[in-house]
Structure 1
Amino acid sequence: MRRRTGRLRTAAAAALFALGATVLAPPPTAAAESSEATDYCQGQCADILPPGANGNATLMEILGNKLFGTHPGHSTDQLAPYGALAGGYQSLTDDTLTNFFNDASFGVPEGQVGKVTSPRDDVTITRDEKTGVPHIKGTTRYGTEFGAGYAAGQDRLWLMDLFRHIGRGELTSFAGGAPANQGLEQQFWPSAPYTEADLQAQVERIRDSNGARGKQAMADAQAYVDGINAYREQSKNGRYFPGEYVLTGHVDAITNAGEIKPFKLTDLIALASVVGGLFGNGGGGEVPQALALLAAQHKYGVEKGTKVWESFRERNDPEAAKTLHNGQSFPYAGKPARAKGTALPDRDSVTPEPLVFDRTGAAASKDATPPRNPVKAPKKFRKLEGLFKDGVLPKGSLDPTQRRGMSNALLVSGKHTASGNPVAVFGPQTGYFAPQLLMLQEIQGPGISARGASFAGVGMYVQLGRGQDYSWSATSAGQDITDTYAVDLCNADGSQPTKDATSYRYHGRCTPMEKLERTNSWKPTIADPTAAGSYRMQIFRTKYGTVTHRATIDGKPVAYTALRSTYRHEADSIIGFQMLNDPAYVRDAKTFQKATRHIGYAFNWFYADSRDIAYYNSGLNPVRNPDVDPALPIKAAAAYEWQGYDPTTNTTDYTPPAQHPQSVNQDYYISWNNKQAEDYDSAGFGNGSVHRGNLLDDRVRALTEDGGVTRASLTRAMAEAAVTDLRGEDVLPELLRVLRSKPLTDPGLRTAVQQLEAWRKDGAQRRETTAGSHTYTHPDAVRLMDAWWPLLIEGAFKPGLGGDLYDALRANLAIDESPSAGHGPTGAHAGSAFQYGWWSYADKDLRAVLGDKVAGPLAARYCGQGQLAACRDTLLATLKQATGKTAEQVYPGDDSCKAGDQWCADAIIHRAVGGLTHDAISWQNRPTYQQVVEFPAHR
């Protein structure tokens, strides 16, 4: 079989060579540099990023992938070691870490040098033979950054091009009109609907308003862009550019006619807006929260309804897992004693603001008639027809409207480690894509010394990684930096306005809204033979942000707007990243905290060196009127604006650094998008007694109490949490107590309970019996829990809440996000799980029914109306329903998995952002890019 595949591959290569798709001119090469920056980690820093460093594929390589399952070098070689940790962590030692992670030392050891490229005389890009990671070494600052851009082009040219168009709301015009592409640009563009002037203004403000560092940042960015463009031109001329450009109609495979458009600085701003929208935003969603409050008040009356809503909101739950667990208080965005300026809509008056208009052709219907003369691929390329018929990014792959988990972090102080030096295991959970949104690189040059991960297209600096004697990482924080304002609508002629009015009152004057539009059109291509079509997107912008909804308040029309502090400032954080890469600036925990103050995104930042661990919560936290409730819409009036707010620049007064959660040398830190500290509101539902952060906190606390923590033991704690079902560990015990409160007489239910008990006793994990078996150790119990959870939540809560309130609360917090829950916020096969769910509500309610003490209880009891016997009946009835569901019903199957395949339903599948696809790996709830570090020395 191997020989036949080889012959076919050779034949395909010959055919493609005839069509001009092969590499005709390799990039220039040079000898490797031997001198490296001082590395104080001494071989004790490791990292990994799947699926592989190489994210570009020529048309020939894409065809080879589709025909024979082959992959370009270094495009998928990190998938196996990354996936193997799910089954190999239990026997992990410091010596075997290298089976699952790569050496993250500076430089490339002699004898391990792979390809070496020198795009300019003042920079060399050396790739190590094992992983293909680029090590960029420059003798000038410009050359260093040029090399970073050139390496980014080598590894992610197509991905960067894709994302600059997503950021501009122009994906369908660039990559085809598939419904998923339409949905993606419709999700992103409303959150950052910038004009070219807006993008250019951000470039100029960074350059002109941040002193020498701002000027240097934009000079670095320009050098980076120059490097991307140099590779873009060379790959186009040499015909080794990404094959997706042919598939989407931008370049002709035979004649090489066509264009890959040059990159420019404003593209980086558009890219930054996508990254910030996905991972660095916080707050918003006040309209759905208001609708839930109104539903609660309608159900229970104003006073009790408000108490019920507050108990589900869990603003400052005393049982919540916190990153700062020593009682530190950092008040922010809390509930005022008596709120003023709250702008609740009239019931049933809220309508979402329409976005899409003037659909034509294929945009008018998902079932549009195919074109009469569809684009046909050359015969040798027929296997590539329809490659992107579902879109270049599958539906649900990215959604800036959902809070995203960027996680996680485990750090232990040197007081509790075997060596006396701190240990950290941390990294961002950014989803699984092929190629990955992040890329690994090392950058060494004047004023820069770092290795780690950067988002493709904004990789002038390492964003998460290590310096010479320190390492850092981040998790999404999600604190409230976005508010919703209710602006009174008006007409310029003084006539009575309706909800459709396009003027509003600002400081007493009737002011026209600014209308922003984006028209996209597309034609059929080889990869997407969809009929031609077009449509227009439209957004109205006010001095209080962009319009998201319309409603009435006391019968008068209003528009609800979203005002985000990072709007028009997505790229400002470049200054903080520049500092993190500067070895002359970051020398200890305190200077690390000072650097992260310059990052406006809502992130939790973590740091480790040989002496200290540290934490700082970054973000442009606006200073509000202390009487407003930021969890609900606010009346648009001068008295309730952010203090010092200037709408022309979208700047305001920000809370000072001392008021941000921070710490140095707490005994340990954990973060998995949980609550930061007491009194610090995380802008949304879901921070209660059960959170996935508990899976880390319980394990790291136990390790710390025992002492002698090592890199391997901390990694084991992370990896065990990564295969544990949160419901099984932290809610199932109460469920079983209720079920066992009386003897079980039904044989089928008794068997089901015994299966769940055995699973719980064995750790409530979703792990294979043996590596590669594709069968879980307790498959029946896992299937029961997956089937039972949504049934038991509805059975326990819906009767008491009523349908309207139950649905309104579900709109703010999904009831379930198990790995196979394709209906959940992150979709199927996403890896990340258990961030969103009604775990805490069930836990608190069941403990109350059982008579346990509950701090911060729900305002009412729901399961069985608070009666143990009735609650037990509800749980038994829903469990019986669950036992009747077949595996095919619980795991209905999709494009990747057949119905009933439990392992595959959970499995991580790297979502294709281009022409290559990869094999699935076993589920694990773990960072996408991850570091394991322990520095034994310091400068």
Structure 2
Amino acid sequence: MPLRTPRRIGTLRTVTAGALLALTATLVAPLPMAAHAADPTTDYCANQCADILPPGENGNATLADILANKVLGTRPAHTMDQLGPYSSLASGYQNLSDATITNFFNNSSFGVPSSQVASVENPRSDVTITRDKATGVPHIKGSTRAGTEFGAGYAAGEDRLWLMDLFRHVGRGELSSFAGGAAANRGLEQEFWRQAPYTEDDLQSQIDWLSTQGGTRGQQALADAQSYVDGINAYITASKNGRYFPGEYVLTGHVDAITNAGTIDPFKLTDLIALASVVGALFGTGGGGEVQSALSLLSAQQKYGTDEGTKVWESFRERDDPEAVSTVHDGSSFPYAGKPATAQGEALPDPGSVVQEPLVYDATGGATQATTKSAGVLPSNLFSAPRKGMSNALLVSGAHTASGHPVAVFGPQTGYFAPQLLMLQELQGPGISARGASFAGLGMYVELGRGQDYAWSATSASQDVTDTYAVELCQDSTHYLYHGSCVPMEKLERTNSWKPTTADSTPAGSYRMQVWRTAYGPVEYRATVGGKQVAYTQLRSSYRHEADSILGFQELNDPGFVHDAASFQLAAQDINYTFNWFYADSRQTAYYNSGTNPVRAPGVDASFPVWAQAAYDWRGWDPAYNTADYTPPSQHPQSVNQDYYVSWNNKQAPGYTSAGFGDGSVHRADLLDDRVKALVQQGGVTRSALVKAMEDAAVTDLRGEDVLPELLQVIGGAPVTDPQEATAVQQLTTWRQDGTKRRETSAGSHTYADADAIRVMDAWWPLLIQGEFQPGLGSDLYGALTADLAVDESPSAGHGPTGSHAGSSFQFGWWSYADKDLRAVLGKPVQGGLAHTYCGGGQLSACRDMLLSTLKQAAAVPAATVYPGDDGGCSAGDQWCADSIVQRPLGGVTDDRISWQNRPTYQQVVEFPAHR
């Protein structure tokens, strides 16, 4: 059968639960250490490595802590101590120097100086957990590998037990039964379970796969994971007996505050698989959306005819836009998932026939009475964005730095929560030496961070590893043709019920979720294709394989494995999530795009649904284990020692087709690329200079920097005589001269400089886009294309894919379309332009009239309408508050809001002066 990677060998066999327990209970012999290995405590960064993860390391609070926070506003130590330095960079970056970096970041050196030791504990004899005074980060040092992992699990329990418990229930579609029936809780579990409706056997099969197909490293990973789980459970027992467990267990009715009766269920290995499934769904997938793409194509063809409509659709799709900023810019090309010359097996729906598959059944009580005001313990839109992005990276090779050593500023944007989804830790033990961030509950290894003499990070890549298949129905709605045979679908169900609790007053209720699963994945839609009844299913390459990536993370933590760019890329190849991985040491920088990219049948267009027939299956596909042939590592975008790298969820490389709409001539990665390119051309780049470039981009409005100049040029073709229009034009012109920042007048003022211009732009953008494109496209096609790609994602746009108060902005929007169209109207050269010119029907004067009329309309919209306020504490008209970042509470303790900045949540600043 096909193997996961060329380096992984083994024969699949059934593993019983007893055999697996015996395997994981026995410590696998440590892996051989390469000649590059060094003393685990050796640190080659010489105090030139720093990191930050707001709001704080401590994510657990007892019931007394929660009540004190509600009544007195107090918080446990290290709950919010990283939020202030993180927030203050927005106002302090302009005067930053290398010497002041640690005013805004933590020193991320290994170990804890004796003068900075806050506590030392030994949860068992072979591991010590030392916490520092400044941040409370656990520094875990084990004399055995099992002890190191046990300590990691114990520290995870100390810092994130409630959060880990929430997410293992999300991963099973059981959040409402565990934490209450609030509408947001139900929305989240429904959104996730639709994507990964796993049974317990499905979760167990991922463990079995690792034990048989992962080789020695897979067996070591299971032993590490079991030791990690043992550490979590040891903390659960100790905290329950000592009555210092998280107070949320009391507030949700799991434990009695007086008698201590009740249970906190111990963790097991399958819980980690459920957690990994959630993380994979959030940040490590790509593709899908083929049905919506088909609907917008059909709408284009209906308006323009088949040939011209297809050209129009393709111009908006921007599959391989020549003007798009690419992470790899050295002339290399990495073709993947492009448009075939002649599409084969396409299964476009008949117009008007598509119906989404229902998920919820038998709703009673609170399931029907709850409203969206019932906030829940987790945001309901965690999985709703069509493409999960947000992270960024900036790296400059040593040839262009002041020291001659590479410099990197990078990190993932995982949203803002209290406590954070990530947690910081340092792990030191046999075969493990790293410090950085890990997702709560998956901290067997550091997932993003630094080793002894190297650092690594990632951004979400979202390349297309998910396809939609049209399975033809037979016999009835629950049977389908599979390779010529009529076979039944598998019915998967999950019933959730709840009662009101102290934390959630939603009335008692229950409901049932139901998913029909086929060999080609879960059913998402029903439709007809050429009159035939079909079900549209969605299949991704990482489906039922989220745990496989543990091998790559293990290797990244192993100082005997990673010692240069080449070995780093080998480790990244063993990660099947769709990420862009970046690396820096004292000599090299490197990049590699990970993920199991399926090899599609010749002629299959990855952008549209395809018939579920053997001729159009992934090559080498084995539905029993959802494995297939994957493109070899050499075909993944990659590079070593390019002059610089930037990534902000943009296009990876020429030829590498993006999984969705939006990778065009204007992308938020341009904000980074322009700044870093200028630094490289100047030379002598320092850590502080690169941080400045990152933060300057983080407080800049993309529309203002890259589209407003063209808007003003069109308007400036003749005098503006209307006083209201002239005032608005002058405000926008001044804002442009000031750099189109969304930044406070002074730290803590909660008032923006150029506030009126920002208000006008926020009101104008959706009006001008509609005025520019809807008349030419028509309402139906315009609506279909805006369903493919949202018009705007400004910081205050609660309607955007990310939602309000989320920080991440300007990933989704029509700025590239506006840019190309306006340049065409102005007579400027455009590569990869739109099929038609839309603004004013292609007439400059008519385009100008439309822009001025919509600008006048926008200028008249009061701030209270542009920023309507919300139930989270923002008053109508409060511009700063509307933009502000909120640490969305995942537990009983809340943290302060901060000024907007478009920046990774966890971030590193690194420059290694030496190497092993």
TM normalised by structure 2 equals: 0.95
With over 3 angstroms needed to count, the CA separation of the structure-2 counterparts of 1:107 and 1:564, relative to structure 1, is same
Q: Which residue of 2 aligns with 1:87?
A: 91
The answer to whether the 8 A contact 1:84-1:100 is kept is yes
Q: Which amino acid aligns with 2:359?
A: L
Is residue 792 of structure 2 the alignment partner of residue 816 of structure 1? Answer: yes
In the TM superposition, what are the counterparts of 1:426-465 in structure 2 within 5 Å? Answer: 426-465=410-449
From 107, 127, 136, the counterpart of 1:132 = 136
From 391, 410, 414, the counterpart of 2:376 = 391
2: CA distance, partners of 1:451 / 1:741: 56
Q: Which digits, 9 at most, give the CA deviation of each residue in 1:94-125, with x for residues without a partner?
A: 00101100100000012000111110000000
Is residue 158 of structure 2 the alignment partner of residue 182 of structure 1? Answer: no
**TM-fit CA distance, 1:711:** 0.1
2: CA distance, partners of 1:274 / 1:140: 30
The answer to whether the 8 A contact 1:167-1:273 is kept is yes
Q: Which residue of 1 aligns with 2:875?
A: 898
**TM-fit CA distance, 1:68:** 1.4
Q: Which residue of 1 aligns with 2:304?
A: 300
From 787, 809, 826, the counterpart of 1:850 = 826
The answer to whether the 8 A contact 1:389-1:527 is kept is no
From 436, 453, 458, the counterpart of 1:474 = 458
Q: Which residue of 1 aligns with 2:905?
A: 928
Q: Which digits, 9 at most, give the CA deviation of each residue in 1:468-493, with x for residues without a partner?
A: 000000000010000000010011xx
Secondary structure, counterpart of 2:583 in structure 1: strand
Q: Which residue of 1 aligns with 2:161?
A: 157
Secondary structure, counterpart of 2:219 in structure 1: helix
2: CA distance, partners of 1:179 / 1:301: 43
Q: Which residue of 1 aligns with 2:388?
A: 404
Secondary structure, counterpart of 1:425 in structure 2: strand
Secondary structure, counterpart of 2:664 in structure 1: coil
Q: Which residue of 2 aligns with 1:256?
A: 260
Q: Which residue of 2 aligns with 1:550?
A: 526
2: CA distance, partners of 1:935 / 1:400: 39
Is residue 197 of structure 2 the alignment partner of residue 193 of structure 1? Answer: yes
Is residue 116 of structure 2 the alignment partner of residue 116 of structure 1? Answer: no
2: CA distance, partners of 1:322 / 1:404: 18
From 889, 900, 908, the counterpart of 2:885 = 908
1: CA distance, partners of 2:171 / 2:390: 20
**TM-fit CA distance, 1:531:** 1.3
Q: Which residue of 1 aligns with 2:171?
A: 167
2: CA distance, partners of 1:426 / 1:72: 29
Q: Which amino acid aligns with 2:639?
A: S
**TM-fit CA distance, 1:556:** 1.1
1: CA distance, partners of 2:309 / 2:893: 52
From 847, 853, 871, the counterpart of 1:877 = 853
Q: Which residue of 2 aligns with 1:24?
A: none
**TM-fit CA distance, 1:400:** 5.0
The answer to whether the 8 A contact 2:397-2:589 is kept is yes
Q: Which residue of 2 aligns with 1:104?
A: 108
**TM-fit CA distance, 1:366:** 2.8
2: CA distance, partners of 1:590 / 1:394: 39
Is residue 752 of structure 2 the alignment partner of residue 768 of structure 1? Answer: no
The answer to whether the 8 A contact 2:472-2:481 is kept is yes
Q: Which digits, 9 at most, give the CA deviation of each residue in 1:274-304, with x for residues without a partner?
A: 0000000000000000000000000100000
2: CA distance, partners of 1:772 / 1:406: 25
2: CA distance, partners of 1:367 / 1:312: 37
Secondary structure, counterpart of 2:567 in structure 1: helix
Q: Which amino acid aligns with 2:365?
A: G
The answer to whether the 8 A contact 1:277-1:400 is kept is no
Q: Which residue of 2 aligns with 1:272?
A: 276
With over 3 angstroms needed to count, the CA separation of the structure-2 counterparts of 1:150 and 1:651, relative to structure 1, is same
Secondary structure, counterpart of 1:124 in structure 2: strand
Secondary structure, counterpart of 1:782 in structure 2: helix
From 604, 624, 630, the counterpart of 1:654 = 630
The answer to whether the 8 A contact 1:36-1:107 is kept is no
Q: Which residue of 1 aligns with 2:7?
A: none
1: CA distance, partners of 2:272 / 2:638: 30
Is residue 346 of structure 2 the alignment partner of residue 342 of structure 1? Answer: yes
Q: Which residue of 2 aligns with 1:515?
A: 491
Unaligned 5+ runs, structure 1? 1-34, 369-387, 492-496
In the TM superposition, what are the counterparts of 1:688-767 in structure 2 within 5 Å? Answer: 688-767=664-743
From 490, 495, 499, the counterpart of 2:474 = 490
From 391, 403, 417, the counterpart of 1:419 = 403
Is residue 914 of structure 2 the alignment partner of residue 937 of structure 1? Answer: yes
2: CA distance, partners of 1:670 / 1:220: 34
Secondary structure, counterpart of 2:87 in structure 1: helix
Q: Which residue of 1 aligns with 2:895?
A: 918
Q: Which residue of 1 aligns with 2:23?
A: none
Q: Which amino acid aligns with 2:363?
A: R
2: CA distance, partners of 1:400 / 1:748: 39
The answer to whether the 8 A contact 2:40-2:429 is kept is no
1: CA distance, partners of 2:858 / 2:498: 46
Q: Which residue of 1 aligns with 2:26?
A: none
**TM-fit CA distance, 1:395:** 3.7
2: CA distance, partners of 1:367 / 1:81: 37
2: CA distance, partners of 1:402 / 1:770: 36
The answer to whether the 8 A contact 2:369-2:507 is kept is no
Q: Which amino acid aligns with 1:93?
A: S
Secondary structure, counterpart of 1:332 in structure 2: coil
Is residue 273 of structure 2 the alignment partner of residue 245 of structure 1? Answer: no
**TM-fit CA distance, 1:555:** 1.1
Q: Which residue of 1 aligns with 2:66?
A: 62
Where do 4+ consecutive residues of structure 1 move more than 2 Å? 364-368
1: CA distance, partners of 2:384 / 2:869: 26
Q: Which digits, 9 at most, give the CA deviation of each residue in 1:221-252, with x for residues without a partner?
A: 00000000000111011000000000000001
**TM-fit CA distance, 1:582:** 0.2
Q: Which residue of 1 aligns with 2:18?
A: none
Q: Which amino acid aligns with 2:881?
A: C
1: CA distance, partners of 2:325 / 2:671: 10
1: CA distance, partners of 2:275 / 2:602: 35
Q: Which digits, 9 at most, give the CA deviation of each residue in 1:299-354, with x for residues without a partner?
A: 10000000000000000000000000122100000000111111100000000000
The answer to whether the 8 A contact 1:406-1:474 is kept is no
Is residue 644 of structure 2 the alignment partner of residue 668 of structure 1? Answer: yes
From 211, 216, 220, the counterpart of 1:212 = 216
Q: Which digits, 9 at most, give the CA deviation of each residue in 1:597-636, with x for residues without a partner?
A: 0000000000000000000000000001121100000011
The answer to whether the 8 A contact 2:668-2:810 is kept is yes
Question: How many residues are matched?
Answer: 877
1: CA distance, partners of 2:40 / 2:474: 65
With over 3 angstroms needed to count, the CA separation of the structure-2 counterparts of 1:78 and 1:367, relative to structure 1, is closer
1: CA distance, partners of 2:390 / 2:731: 34
1: CA distance, partners of 2:682 / 2:375: 52
2: CA distance, partners of 1:711 / 1:259: 49
Q: Which amino acid aligns with 1:108?
A: V
**TM-fit CA distance, 1:406:** 3.9
In the TM superposition, what are the counterparts of 1:785-804 in structure 2 within 5 Å? Answer: 785-804=761-780
The answer to whether the 8 A contact 1:187-1:401 is kept is no
Secondary structure, counterpart of 1:502 in structure 2: strand
The answer to whether the 8 A contact 2:385-2:801 is kept is no
1: CA distance, partners of 2:707 / 2:805: 24
1: CA distance, partners of 2:743 / 2:385: 31
2: CA distance, partners of 1:782 / 1:400: 27
